[in-house]
Amino acid sequence: MITLLRVDHRLLHGQVAFSWTQFIGADCILIANDSVPDDELRKTTLKLAKPPSVKLVIKNISDAIESLKSGVTDKYRLFIVVESVADACRLVNAVPEITSINLGGVKARDGSRTISRAINLLPQEIEQLHDIIQAGTEVEIRQVPNDRKVLFNESL
């Protein structure tokens, strides 16, 4: 069961690993990212950040989609973390069971617009999020579980 899909450019760190995992009761974290599976240093860093009682799986986006669709992840309370809005949209478009996206951290880049304290989006990312909202997926902004949930459309 997918409990949360979070976009965070830092992927897994203390705030995500502990507060969100406990809040949603996750027993498995899936890092879905196309570069991390081939980067031993990043994989090692991510493994160090995970809570000891939680399984960590690192897959590229295509393999993550395949695993989610196959049902192999159904036995877990799954917390999915991606690095970008584009990756989140790829997952949402391929896996209809994902009904909500949490925007937790998107760093500023040339041409990006500040949406909230930790969310900076490019025009094409805003458009992608509007498209998936129109298709029925909720998009919320919240860094930590105790923050007030703000819907993406309310922040614009």
What tokens appear for 149 in the block?
Answer: 């949930």
What is the rounded average pLDDT for all residues in the chain?
Answer: 95
Total domains in the chain come to 1
- CA gap 46, 55 in Å, rounded: 12
Which CATH number fits the domain that encloses residue 118? 3.40.35.10
Cα 94 from chain centroid (whole Å): 15
Q: In Å, how far are 18, 84, 107, 110, 117 from 29, measured between CA atoms?
A: 11, 16, 22, 31, 25
Q: For the whole model, what pTM was predicted?
A: 0.96
Domain span at 131 = 2-155
Q: What pLDDT shows up at residue 16?
A: 74
What's the confidence (pLDDT) of residue 155? 81
Q: In 10 A of CB 114, how many CB atoms?
A: 12
pLDDT above 80: residue 147: yes
* Structure confidence by residue, pLDDT tens digits, 11-65: 999 877 899 999 999 999 999 999 999 999 999 999 999 999 999 999 999 999 9
